[in-house]
Structure 1
Amino acid sequence: MPPNYPLVSIIITCFNYELFISECIESALQQDYPNLEIIVVDDGSKDGSWDIIQQYRDQVTCVRQQNRGALRSSLTGFRLSNGDFVHFLDADDLLVPGALQQIAPHLRPDVSKVPFMLSPIDRDGQVIGDPFPKLAQSIESGPLIQSINQRGYYNTPPTSGNIYRRDIYENLGDLSYERAIDGVPYLLAPFLGKVVSLDVPLGKYRIHNANLSSFSTLSSDRLNGYIDRFMARLRHLAQLIDERGIKGKIRLRQDYAYVREMTILSTVASGKRPALRLLASYISAVRREHRALRTCMSLAFALGLFVLPNLGRRQLASFRLDPSRFWRVRSRLKHAASVGT
């Protein structure tokens, strides 16, 4: 293969997604990229997913395992892969035609990660909002490292919107705290190479009842789990930086705006009104980490959680955690603004 076409491994993990798995596999097979392998791991599906997957056994590597969760099925696929770059594609998501050809010029040894935007679609494949997250065309990792130090994260797409250089996933160590495959790798990538962000939607992210279940139940335990994983990833990142002798350190804090927000939502989930001191700490963290518009929005959100009755607080908190509602609202506001100009 020409040097600008390194081997790319698309790893598709599936659990009970018989409605979507065929379309997902087809979106990978239809890529006009000349050096590609596709691995599909069925994580013990109880529906007809495995029967559908086996129909592609002459074109892709098909593996079935007992149900062990998304992380372990992704690791199974990674162990079976040989790609210089890897792409974890959720079974309900899609790649758009020609996506890998657009990404190909950036698959270089000095590039650790290529994130791209995703178009949110509904169960039937209809677009329900603007492409997200908003990415600026960039080849720099410095601002991302700065964001990690400031906020504990940087703006990145969900799993299906990223291609990683293989070594980012090697020798990660203990991931027992994790549920997803790309929790600490997305944080590690800027320290190990250039992150080339593409400001075009090259994939589709499906919103449906199954994957919204994690947002539908406002649970204190669930929200505290978000906090625990957030902090565990940062501690793990600091460990990997030290073990690999990478230049640069990260400063761990306990008062990230994300942690404060999840603490507030956990308080609401337990049926309590957040204390003014906690809300003030949250606003202070947002002011430190974000610009004025975000601070104003967060202030309105915090005030709502304080003044509303219990039912209203829970509804507002649920709205905050539901991405499909946010995308629809953003799209409507954008449309209204364009009509008014």
Structure 2
Amino acid sequence: MIKVRPLLSIIITCYNYEMYISECIRSVLSQDYDNLEIIVIDDGSTDQSWEKIQEFGEKIIAVRTANRGSLKTCLKGLSLSRGDFIYFLDADDVLAEGALAEITSYLRPDVSKIQFMLLPIDKEGRPIGNAFPSLQPTADSEPLIQSIRKKGYYDTPPTSGNIYRRDVYDGLGDMTYERAIDGVSYLLAPFVGRVVSIDKALGKYRIHNANLSAFSDISSTRMKTYVDRFMGRLHHLAELVQSRCAGTDRVEVRTDYAYVMELNTMSTVVDGKRPSIGQISAYIGAVMRENMGTKRVALCLFGLALFLLPNATARQLAAIRIDPSRSRQMRSRLKRAFSS
């Protein structure tokens, strides 16, 4: 008797990625998985993306919409899909050879999410760093739930490193505070099933000028936007857990998460001010409460640097925290600052 594997829907959303969309689609078509649907949504691209997408003919389901942004485009793709599991793959990213063969055994009813590492590549596809995030192979959701309760998040890859059981996306309701499809979904997944972490790079995450530009603005307004989105996700999660997870303890949302305090501190710095001793002390206290080992040390040093360094240098340090690609430019400035 032949066992039919679960239907996997891969949804690729594209906006002005004519340089990358064909490679992305080919990386999916080359996979060894026989129960697959590929849905490609062009979000009103103004370049040749739609023409590139149409070249694949009946091998994919291709739809073009007016430009509506990432979240609405993903929701459109979700509405068209039939899969038991859903994988949103960014059009500039690539699914690694043999990736789906690696995850096949995890496509089970008790698994709510599969997450794997991504290898960063440049616009030509050359590796430019180590795979991230660092994941330990496990199928235990409890540590992730504890991390959410303690920190407000757990370590997870960007969108292209996650596959979700379909029902995780069901009944999410209003997400007007959000920009991405998987913001609250990644938080909900551990509460509704097992989250499988795979310590292998099964995808490639492209870093190029278009997505780096998203980090170019480090204004206090942007910091506030990040805080509002972070808190919006947690309040939304608390509602979903209460309504969908009978017998599970409520998610208590706090205001003293280290992530929130860090953003508020950086906001002070980018406004040209020096954080107060009380602000730094509260941030370091939150870091000590939420972290261990080298990460605790590194974040405490980061907080002290924001307080001690001249504002211009502290601003650059905050920029690196938001966009790590700036670190090479910053090393020489830090060296001069600490030696003066």
* TM-score strictly above 0.5: yes
Report the secondary structure of 1:62's partner residue.
Answer: strand
Counterpart residue number, 2:262: 261
Counterpart residue number, 2:66: 66
Summarize the Cα distance change of 1:280–1:3 in structure 2 as closer, same or farther, 3 Å threshold.
Answer: farther
User: Structure 1: how far apart are the matches of 2:329 and 2:103?
Assistant: 28
* 1:302-341 equivalences in 2 (<5 Å): 302-325=303-326
| Structure 1 position 248, deviation (Å) | 2.7
Write out per-residue CA displacement over residues 87-121 of structure 1, whole angstroms, 9 at most, x where no aligned residue.
00000001001101110000000000000000011
User: Structure 2: how far apart are the matches of 1:328 and 1:152?
Assistant: 31
TM-score (norm 1): 0.93
The answer to whether the Cα contact below 8 Å between 1:85 and 1:107 also exists between their aligned partners in 2 is: yes
Q: Structure 1 stretch 263-272 or stretch 72-81: which is displaced more?
A: 263-272
The answer to whether the Cα contact below 8 Å between 1:128 and 1:328 also exists between their aligned partners in 2 is: no
Counterpart residue number, 1:162: 162
* 1:161-310 equivalences in 2 (<5 Å): 161-246=161-246, 247-310=248-311
Q: Structure 1 stretch 107-116 or stretch 261-270: which is displaced more?
A: 261-270
Report the secondary structure of 2:154's partner residue.
Answer: coil
| Structure 1 position 326, deviation (Å) | 6.5
Write out per-residue CA displacement over residues 180-235 of structure 1, whole angstroms, 9 at most, x where no aligned residue.
01000000000110001101110000111111112122111111100001001000
Counterpart residue number, 2:114: 114
User: Structure 2: how far apart are the matches of 1:323 and 1:80?
Assistant: 36
Structure 1 runs of 4+ aligned residues shifted over 6 Å read 326-329
| Structure 1 position 245, deviation (Å) | 3.8
Summarize the Cα distance change of 1:3–1:254 in structure 2 as closer, same or farther, 3 Å threshold.
Answer: farther
1:8 equivalent to 2:2? Answer no
Q: Give the AA of the match of 1:260.
A: M
User: Structure 2: how far apart are the matches of 1:285 and 1:132?
Assistant: 25
Unaligned stretches of 5+ in structure 1?
A: 330-341
1:54 equivalent to 2:64? Answer no
| Structure 1 position 307, deviation (Å) | 1.8
| Structure 1 position 297, deviation (Å) | 0.9
What count of residue pairs does the alignment treat as equivalent? 329
User: Structure 2: how far apart are the matches of 1:4 and 1:240?
Assistant: 32
Q: Give the AA of the match of 2:299.
A: S
Write out per-residue CA displacement over residues 103-144 of structure 1, whole angstroms, 9 at most, x where no aligned residue.
000000000000000001111111111110000000100000
Report the secondary structure of 2:116's partner residue.
Answer: strand
Summarize the Cα distance change of 1:125–1:111 in structure 2 as closer, same or farther, 3 Å threshold.
Answer: same
User: Structure 1: how far apart are the matches of 2:314 and 2:329?
Assistant: 21
Counterpart residue number, 1:336: none
User: Structure 1: how far apart are the matches of 2:101 and 2:5?
Assistant: 9
Report the secondary structure of 2:255's partner residue.
Answer: coil
User: Structure 1: how far apart are the matches of 2:113 and 2:3?
Assistant: 18
The answer to whether the Cα contact below 8 Å between 2:287 and 2:300 also exists between their aligned partners in 1 is: no
User: Structure 2: how far apart are the matches of 1:13 and 1:5?
Assistant: 25
Report the secondary structure of 2:204's partner residue.
Answer: strand
Unaligned stretches of 5+ in structure 2?
A: 331-340
Counterpart residue number, 2:105: 105
| Structure 1 position 327, deviation (Å) | 11
Counterpart residue number, 2:93: 93
Write out per-residue CA displacement over residues 64-95 of structure 1, whole angstroms, 9 at most, x where no aligned residue.
11111000000000000000000000000010
| Structure 1 position 49, deviation (Å) | 0.7
Summarize the Cα distance change of 1:197–1:143 in structure 2 as closer, same or farther, 3 Å threshold.
Answer: same
Summarize the Cα distance change of 1:180–1:328 in structure 2 as closer, same or farther, 3 Å threshold.
Answer: farther
User: Structure 1: how far apart are the matches of 2:329 and 2:34?
Assistant: 37
| Structure 1 position 328, deviation (Å) | 12
The answer to whether the Cα contact below 8 Å between 1:168 and 1:185 also exists between their aligned partners in 2 is: yes
Counterpart residue number, 1:335: none
Counterpart residue number, 1:334: none
* 1:73-92 equivalences in 2 (<5 Å): 73-92=73-92
The answer to whether the Cα contact below 8 Å between 2:319 and 2:326 also exists between their aligned partners in 1 is: no
User: Structure 2: how far apart are the matches of 1:34 and 1:328?
Assistant: 47
